[in-house]
Amino acid sequence: MPHVILGTEGEEEFSRAILNDEMELNVEKSKGKLVKIARKMTSDYPEVGGIVLECTNMPPYAAAIQREIGLRIFDI
């Protein structure tokens, strides 16, 4: 079964805050960016049947992503 991998590189808020170990993060902006990535993934690869969030900082966004794309979201 093929896999599609997309990262958050280039998405300023989430990556900046997490990778730089920042103390503050704009949650709404981060949510919007992660939803945008999920939409891109399902648009570019319609065969995707679910998404795995591999970063332990992403589960708070799972419900928003699932609402937007209608697929199951898994996380660690």
* pLDDT the model gives residue 12: 81
Question: What does the domain layout of the chain look like in residue ranges?
Answer: 12-75
pLDDT at 69 over 80: yes
* pTM to 2 decimal places: 0.88
The phi and psi torsions of 59 (rounded to 5 degrees) equal: -50, -30
pLDDT at 24 over 90: yes
* pLDDT the model gives residue 66: 97
Residue 1: band (very low, low, confident or very high) from pLDDT cuts 50, 70, 90: low
Residue type, 4: V
How does the average pLDDT of the chain come out, rounded? 92
Which of 4, 3, 12, 2 has its CA nearest to residue 34? Answer: 12
The tokens of 31 are what?
A: 């949510």
* Helix pair angle (12-19, 27-44), 10° resolution: 120
